[in-house]
Structure 1
Amino acid sequence: MTEDNLEQQAQVEAALASAGRLGVLHSIVPDMAEQDTDFVEFAAIAAGLFDVPIALVTLMDARDQWFKAAIGTDEKRAPSRDSFCAHTIADGEALVVADVQADSRFSGHPRATGAPFLRFYAGVPLLVDEQPIGTLCVFDVKPRQPTPDLVAQLQRLARLASLLFKLKHEARQRALKEAALTREEQRHAMALDAANVGSWLWDVRSGNVSCNRSMARMFGMPESRTVQAKDIFAAIHQEDRVATLSKLRAAMAADEEYDGTFRVGATGRWLLGRGRVHERDASGKPTVFLGINIDVTEEHSSTQRTRLLLRELNHRVKNTLAMLQSLARQTLRQTSDPQQFMTAFAGRLQAISEAHGLLSDHEWGAIRLSALLAKQLAPHVRDYDKQIEIHKDEILLGPDQAVGLGLVLHELATNAAKYGSLSVPRGKVVLTARGVDEDGRRVLDMTWTEVGGPPVEEPARRGFGSILIERSLDKVMGSSVKVEYLPAGLTAIVRLPL
């Protein structure tokens, strides 16, 4: 091998091993070994243009060249290092070998000295994000000299094949995102449905209202994802309609929270409604209104105890709505990507929903710490019994403590599942929770310790999750959360008056 050939081979090997090129290749094509019939037409057209027996659409990783589509051969792959196309990848442009026997780079190639005795090659790189991930190429068993116009047509065909690879990748990514979003929506819908909470989002300009099944059932409507606002207003009992709509309009105009109780005309059931303008246009007119409804029929017709419970519900729902809006704004500030926003916001919404579900089961009284721990931590672990070690006293939590601590636990568990001990199979969290007496009042001292995870470093910038951990217990006077980024694992110390 000549010195020039040695230099060319070094360039080929460097191109094949390029991290940028391989990164694009592996992200674009999840399974290179599987042939793809969508590319057969490209190979067939190329073979017809050049009137040759062999045409390929190939992908080239560091070691193997994979034939995604092939005309004239049953082979599915070949070694990358010895392939004609490796030089096309290294050059980054069209390569034409008019006579293989006259080219020192390829004259000794096994496919040239043996069957099928190749004599001609033309190949064009497939470029995705400016990286050559493979080739569109043709072979013949006799020498030939194609015209520049013919090579230009092969280049145009290669550009179309490259575009198809990218479009198929984008379609897969959209499908994955849509599937993830659908799963999140289903979980939210199930949680709200189980708690019998009707949620709705009103597009004021179009009049469309997106609502869950609980909302549709409350108003006696068919279970549809979208209804018209006028139909919902018409379903309110005639005696309550004017007052309810007046109150709603006044709250929207004054940018205040809407709070009202009314009956549904068809069923006579009482609903508690709360909501607020979530978005306004440049002129200040409301465009999106976010609200919830709770069936309070039994509460409305019961004794003083039920009326006290209703006031508690009003207070909790108001706090929850304010918390949801704050979480939405703060989460949105951290990311402009809709999918990342939905993932982060959905997890925090679920944490609040889980705490509310437990409190609802106990009529907004006290709930056990063990129940809250199981609800918030189980979704983030593979094996709860092995990865969550708990040493605790029997602790009862009130509503403010449960909701705030639920958010703290969610953020800690989410962080641990992404970066900490719960991100590896053998990692775990050790929780110690003790009730102690301080100056005549009961206080929860809880320590969260991560063990068996990756080494920990304190982040250079505090994210919203860290801020949320520290501020989730603001409603409980005297509470505190201290997070320490120890090399062996993150540790959080919670102090919570009971």
Structure 2
Amino acid sequence: MQEKARAMLPAMTETLGSRERLGVLHAAVPDMAVADSDFEPLAKLAASLFEAPIALVTLVDHEWEWFKAVVGTTETRSRADESFSAHAIGDHGAFLVLDASLHPLLRHNRKVAQAPFLRFYAGAPIILDGQAVGTVCVLDPAPRAEVAAKQLESLQRIADAAASLLKIKDEARRRALKEAALSREEQRLAMALDAANVGSWLWDIRAGTVAGNGAMMRMFELPAERLLSAKAVFGAIHPDDRGSTFSKLRQAMAANEEYDGMFRIRANGRWLLGRGRVHDRDSKGAALTFLGMTIDVSEQQASVQRTRLLLKELNHRVKNTLAMLQSLARQTLRQTSDPAEFMTAFAGRLQAISEAHGLLSDYEWGTIRLAELISKQLKPYVSDYAEQVEIHKDEVLLGPDQAVGLGLVLHELATNAVKYGALSVPKGKIVLTARSVVEEGDAVLHLTWTEVGGPPVREPRRRGFGSLLIERSLDKIIGSSVKVEYLPAGVTALIRLPL
């Protein structure tokens, strides 16, 4: 008992037994004791990242640490009072032990003092609804001298992917049980049917499977699994439209052209607009995968003449946005082969465009205020908007192209600031200066993004896709430009945008 008392501090015991934390855990994962092969790739990725013999994806209640996926062990659970992961749960952050035999709280742990004589541990918490419910961790009987900070950051991203997978599984389980109450996301989707609800999908032609996001599955009224048979997906299309839709897809593949078409869904009669093209081919030129997007355009199809005129403008904008999304998806996919990392990066960029679309839809695709766009794009990345975002601006109205392009630029700058810049520290802030000036008789927006109070900045050796995206998001607007300067005091971006 004395050893357990040393290993389990009172504060940690209180955290593990928190009713709020356990409520979130039990609501999201009622089958903690059941191993899940869907988490095995995350465990293997963590083991490979640290070259560790043991890797786990775990869930921790007040008494047990349950193993959802394992590498290098046959155990299925461990007592919470013997768990290294309990410290990551208690700290609500990454927990690193280079040599447990020297650690004041762990050296008396049974698994340290006896077989398997564990020494090294690195774990990152899995966060659901603000509560740490488990970990992705690696262990090794051999101690380590040091661990790179980037390895811990990558481990946290794997844990975030595990959290996303838990959420997806929870949503699928709730739909399978046909719960009467709609979730917040479903309610938000129902309220946003008039907006540009974009679905994305990747068709593996040889395997005969389609991987799609939640929006696409809901549009087709298909189960929430991320991977379905192509037969099930095409079978959801209305019989009167199925032949022409499949024919257009085949023609686009054969001619290496973009697919662009509209079709109805059999179950609900709703109209969807789709666009896509072949993503890659084999050495003989045969199509391997087809990347596409869909949006729901049913309300526009059924509207009165004023809405038909609006639909004409909306279709034009949506096609531009779909082309942008398609390019984003291709480029993001080229940057990473890890599905979880792809979904995280792509979902953030998709959300940035969706927020701009939402504002434009509220104003019937006319103009929106710059201040509203800034607020929509930056609020998710700060804890106190009034303190961390300082704005000096003229009243500026943006058209659809300007809003979508600038929204994506602001999103990329914000995510970079959270990872490396001013928003990575509590006292950092963003200063935005926006002025509308007249140049040669035309109105031009000069917008300056300045990061202050952050860590010292060094210009990156290699320009990633995010940097290229910042510079090229406004390419379609003639006369626009984005220049990013990596000053030691903080990143500065100079944006010029004709209005």
Q: Could you list the per-position Cα deviations for residues 70-124 of structure 1 after superposition, in whole angstroms to 9, with x for gaps in the alignment?
A: 8xxxxxx9xxxxxxx9xxxxxxxxxxxxxxxxxxxxxxxxxxxxxxxxxxxx999
Match of 1:432 in 2: 433
Q: Could you list the per-position Cα deviations for residues 206-253 of structure 1 after superposition, in whole angstroms to 9, with x for gaps in the alignment?
A: 433344555455445566555443344344334333322222221122
Match of 2:484 in 1: 483
Amino acid at match of 2:403: A
Trace 1:258-337 onto structure 2 (pairs within 5 A): 258-302=259-303, 305-337=306-338
Secondary structure in structure 2 of the residue aligned to 1:200: strand
Match of 1:388 in 2: 389
Q: Distance in 2 between matches of 1:302 and 1:283?
A: 47
Match of 1:493 in 2: 494
Q: Tell me the CA shift for residue 424 of structure 1.
A: 1.1
Q: What TM-score does the superposition give when structure 1 sets the normalisation length?
A: 0.63
Q: Tell me the CA shift for residue 366 of structure 1.
A: 1.4
Match of 1:209 in 2: 210
Match of 1:474 in 2: 475
Secondary structure in structure 2 of the residue aligned to 1:262: strand
Contact 1:39 1:68 in 2 (8 A): no
Secondary structure in structure 2 of the residue aligned to 1:66: coil
Secondary structure in structure 2 of the residue aligned to 1:437: strand
Match of 1:7 in 2: none
Q: Distance in 2 between matches of 1:200 and 1:177?
A: 19
Q: Distance in 2 between matches of 1:173 and 1:428?
A: 24
Q: Distance in 1 between matches of 2:424 and 2:244?
A: 53
Secondary structure in structure 2 of the residue aligned to 1:430: strand
Q: Which moved more, 1:192-201 or 1:473-482?
A: 192-201
Amino acid at match of 2:261: G
Alignment CA distance shift 1:345-1:192 (3 Å): farther
Structure number, greater radius of gyration: 1
Matched, 1:69 2:138: no
Q: Tell me the CA shift for residue 479 of structure 1.
A: 0.9
Alignment CA distance shift 1:390-1:250 (3 Å): same
Q: Distance in 2 between matches of 1:299 and 1:161?
A: 59
Secondary structure in structure 2 of the residue aligned to 1:446: strand
Q: Distance in 2 between matches of 1:178 and 1:338?
A: 12
Q: Could you list the per-position Cα deviations for residues 381-401 of structure 1 after superposition, in whole angstroms to 9, with x for gaps in the alignment?
A: 121111001111221111111
Amino acid at match of 1:496: L
Q: Distance in 2 between matches of 1:212 and 1:335?
A: 18
Q: Tell me the CA shift for residue 465 of structure 1.
A: 2.2
Q: Tell me the CA shift for residue 429 of structure 1.
A: 0.8
Q: Distance in 2 between matches of 1:202 and 1:184?
A: 20
Match of 1:239 in 2: 240
Q: Which moved more, 1:285-294 or 1:479-488?
A: 285-294
Matched, 1:59 2:100: yes
Amino acid at match of 2:259: Y
Q: Tell me the CA shift for residue 409 of structure 1.
A: 0.7
Match of 2:161 in 1: 177
Q: Could you list the per-position Cα deviations for residues 394-449 of structure 1 after superposition, in whole angstroms to 9, with x for gaps in the alignment?
A: 21111111111111111211121122111111111111112222222211111111
Match of 1:360 in 2: 361
Amino acid at match of 1:66: R
Q: What count of residue pairs does the alignment treat as equivalent? A: 375
Percent of aligned pairs with the same amino acid: 63
Amino acid at match of 1:355: A
Alignment CA distance shift 1:181-1:453 (3 Å): farther
Alignment CA distance shift 1:233-1:35 (3 Å): closer
Contact 2:291 2:326 in 1 (8 A): no
